[in-house]
Amino acid sequence: MQKELQIRVLPEVAGEPQLLEETLIQKEGLAAEDLRHIEILRSSIDARAKQAYYNLKVRLYINEGYEPEKISLPNYPNVSNAEEVIVIGAGPAGLFAALELMENGLKPVIIERGKNAKDRIQDLKGINVKHIVNEDSNYCFGEGGAGTYSDGKLYTRSKKRGDVQKVLELLVGFGAVKQILVDSHPHIGTNKLPKIIANMRKCILQNGGEIHFNTRVTDLITDSSSIKGVVAQDGTKFHAKNVILATGHSARDIFELLYRKGIEIELKPLAIGVRVEHPQSLIDTIQYSCESRGDYLPPAAYSIVKQVGDRGVYSFCMCPGGVIAPCATAPGEIVTNGWSSSRRARSTANSGIVVELKPEDFKPFEKYGPLAAMEFQRSIEQKAWVEGGKTQTAPAQRLRDFIKGDVSADLPNTSYAPGITSVELGSVLPDFIHKNLKEGFLKFDQSMRGYLTNDAVVHAPETRTSSPVKIPRDHETLQHVQISGLYPCGEGAGYAGGIVSAAMDGMKCAKRIRVSTK
Ligand SMILES: Cc1cc2nc3c(=O)[nH]c(=O)nc-3n(C[C@H](O)[C@H](O)[C@H](O)COP(=O)(O)OP(=O)(O)OC[C@H]3O[C@@H](n4cnc5c(N)ncnc54)[C@H](O)[C@@H]3O)c2cc1C
């Protein structure tokens, strides 16, 4: 017989199978030999009170053997001779779209400006060590998109459980640990993602799909109302009647191309701020109300939102035990974001802290029309580059100094490999963002006592929180409102915010193509 139940246990009980078994035997009044297996279905930490607990949903196998569920990939048909669909961009949206197309008997032809996941590493070294930004291969561009060398947190606010489950199961099928199906806040880690992405590529190629790396799309072939194909940088033309445009939030040349061609796009407000790094031990102490977190709790995360006047100030993409990464996609700009390894073993915790922006904030850039938010974003990144010393060195300030407006006399080491330089960040950030951040940090400290410390370092800027542009599509068909056969998809088009939601949007667009062509 199987029995499911919910229990709340101390971290050491959750972390020691023997203790968990004893606890369950006692709680359920079972004979030890009758309990054959405990399957953990869901695991989450509740650290709201002084003592942290694990909430576990478990399935007990009582006098019944346990057969682990096999997570296998769909049986993809060979699509070498099937109708071709062009997918621009091999990020989560593009890759999951490609897989879904194959599942539905269509042939994905992926066109990706960057290199394969392995070859990207040289270019990441180039940014971190030599301060050289390759415009086609960096933390945002290349196989797997911004998802490959990302943190790999797989949280989403989406309520579509079936679709979320499909994304997670595919990731497991391609090599992610099964634990992501259990954790309430699943995480893969930068060290594991490239292999998973490479496995996806192998599967796409083995089943007849095509992938063209080092191929930047520079033009779309259209007539007045429909797409016909795309043109690559070297002039090569690819033809198809359906094109999924999944180029991510940093493909500024694509936004500019659409605007130039008169293909409708809309300004999309986003959030901008800084990335702050604390000692992980401090965040553990605050979040777990303890001196040190011990062996049974993971490095603590935080997620915080405060209202400052009429704007939200909130944490974004928090990386416990993580590293701040240089995520610029062009020379002459500084962009920060964060990642962590699967073990989250670093001694530092970083998070974007960003201010919600509104359409009126982009007024000074209105001559750029729907690209105004993108130009606003770019102007901050360029200012940071100038103030940082015209390399990938990021302008930075200790947190208390940031609040007081003092230039920091010295800066501690941070995880940001290209280095940091002491700058009063009021010279980088627009006034209203600077002010709102200061007030936000003060409010954070009221909820997380000890957060406001000069041991924390503020790095500027955090600008790529979501797309500055929305590419409008028909609600039903998901095709561009003006150009049929063109499917704006994923984060860059304004329909996703993270790995899982981008992957889900990719699958959603691919599904519609099946409906429209058969
Ligand atoms: C350092 C870092 C950490 C992150 N951590 C997390 C996290 O923990 N959890 C999470 O959910 N999200 C995280 N994100 C965000 C996440 O990676 C993105 O939300 C997600 O990758 C968006 O998917 P996408 O497919 O829509 O676009 P992208 O991943 O941006 O992919 C777009 C692809 O299109 C390609 N492309 C662009 N222009 C062209 C062109 N002209 N021709 C051909 N190809 C082109 C790019 O090279 C890229 O590969 C992180 C991002 C970064 C940078």
For position 47, which CATH number holds? 3.30.70
92 C-beta closer than 6 A to ligand 1 = yes
Pocket-testing residue among 96, 111, 113, 231, ligand 1, by greatest number of atoms within 8 A of Cβ: 113
Average pLDDT over residues 228-241: 98
Domain boundary among 462, 488, 505: 462
CA of 62 to the centre of ligand 1 (A): 45
Pocket-testing residue among 148, 499, 500, 508, ligand 1, by greatest number of atoms within 8 A of Cβ: 499
- Helix, strand, coil % over all residues of the chain, rounded to 5: 35, 25, 40
The C-alpha atoms of residue 404 and residue 11 are separated, in whole angstroms, by 40
Model-wide pTM > 0.85: yes
228 and 282 together in one domain: no
Helices (H), 112-269: 117-125, 161-173, 193-206, 252-260
- Of 179, 208, 189, the C-alpha closest to 99 is 208
145 C-beta closer than 6 A to ligand 1 = yes
The C-alpha atoms of residue 356 and residue 433 are separated, in whole angstroms, by 9
Asked if residue 262 has pLDDT above 60, the reply is yes
In a domain, 77, yes or no: no
Q: Which residue has the higher pLDDT, 163 or 214?
A: 214
Which amino acid, one-letter code, is at 317?
C
pLDDT confidence tier of residue 68, bands split at 50, 70 and 90: confident
Residue 218 belongs to a domain with what CATH number? 3.50.50.60
In a domain, 184, yes or no: yes
Domain boundary among 426, 445, 462: 462
In a domain, 73, yes or no: no
CA of 140 to the centre of ligand 1 (A): 5
Segment 247-261, tens digit of pLDDT: 999 999 999 999 999
* Residue closest by Cα to atom 48 of ligand 1: 145
Segment 169-204, tens digit of pLDDT: 999 999 999 999 999 999 999 999 999 999 999 999
Q: What is the pLDDT of residue 159?
A: 72
Say if CB 57 and CB 50 are below 8 A apart: no
- Ligand 1 atom showing the smallest separation from residue 92 Cα: 25
Domain enclosing residue 399, as ranges: 271-462
In a domain, 68, yes or no: no
- Ligand 1 atom showing the smallest separation from residue 218 Cα: 41
In a domain, 357, yes or no: yes
159 burial level (CB within 10 Å; 0-12, 13-18, 19+): exposed
Say if CB 31 and CB 60 are below 8 A apart: no
Which of 99-113, 142-156, 301-315 bottoms out in mean pLDDT, i.e. has the lowest? Answer: 142-156
496 C-beta closer than 6 A to ligand 1 = yes
364 and 246 together in one domain: no
Average pLDDT over residues 433-445: 98
505 C-beta closer than 6 A to ligand 1 = no
CA of 248 to the centre of ligand 1 (A): 5
CA of 188 to the centre of ligand 1 (A): 16
CA of 92 to the centre of ligand 1 (A): 7
Segment 142-160, tens digit of pLDDT: 999 999 998 889 988 777 7
In a domain, 113, yes or no: yes
502 C-beta closer than 6 A to ligand 1 = yes
229 C-beta closer than 6 A to ligand 1 = no
Mean pLDDT of the chain: 96
What letter does residue 465 receive in the DSSP assignment? S
- Ligand 1 atom showing the smallest separation from residue 505 Cα: 26
290 and 427 together in one domain: yes
- Ligand 1 atom showing the smallest separation from residue 327 Cα: 53
Greatest mean pLDDT range, 185-189, 217-221, 289-293, 294-298: 217-221
In a domain, 75, yes or no: no
CA of 197 to the centre of ligand 1 (A): 13
Is the torsion defined by CA of 48, 54, 57, 60 positive or negative? negative
256 and 384 together in one domain: no
* Residue closest by Cα to atom 47 of ligand 1: 141
Q: What is the pLDDT of residue 515?
A: 52
Q: Which residue has the higher pLDDT, 159 or 290?
A: 290
The torsion angles phi and psi of 19, rounded to 5 degrees, stand at -65, -40
Segment 446-465, tens digit of pLDDT: 999 999 999 999 999 999 99
Q: What is the pLDDT of residue 516?
A: 52
Q: Which residue has the higher pLDDT, 48 or 467?
A: 467
128 and 49 together in one domain: no
371 and 499 together in one domain: no
Asked if residue 517 has pLDDT above 60, the reply is no
Cis amide linkage into residue 74, ω under 30° from 0: no
450 and 503 together in one domain: no
Domain boundary among 462, 487, 508: 462
329 and 219 together in one domain: no
45 and 94 together in one domain: no
311 C-beta closer than 6 A to ligand 1 = no
CA of 250 to the centre of ligand 1 (A): 8
Segment 201-227, tens digit of pLDDT: 999 999 999 999 999 999 999 998 999
CA of 145 to the centre of ligand 1 (A): 4
CA of 388 to the centre of ligand 1 (A): 25
Cα 282 to its chain centre, rounded Å, is 25
In a domain, 394, yes or no: yes
449 and 505 together in one domain: no
Asked if residue 107 has pLDDT above 70, the reply is yes
299 C-beta closer than 6 A to ligand 1 = no
Pocket-testing residue among 127, 135, 150, ligand 1, by greatest number of atoms within 8 A of Cβ: 150
Q: What is the pLDDT of residue 70?
A: 87
286 and 433 together in one domain: yes
Asked if residue 317 has pLDDT above 60, the reply is yes
In the chain, how many domains are there?
3
Residues in the chain: 518
Asked if residue 518 has pLDDT above 60, the reply is no
The C-alpha atoms of residue 413 and residue 37 are separated, in whole angstroms, by 47
339 C-beta closer than 6 A to ligand 1 = yes
Average pLDDT over residues 385-410: 98
242 and 177 together in one domain: yes
Average pLDDT over residues 4-33: 96
- Ligand 1 atom showing the smallest separation from residue 156 Cα: 11
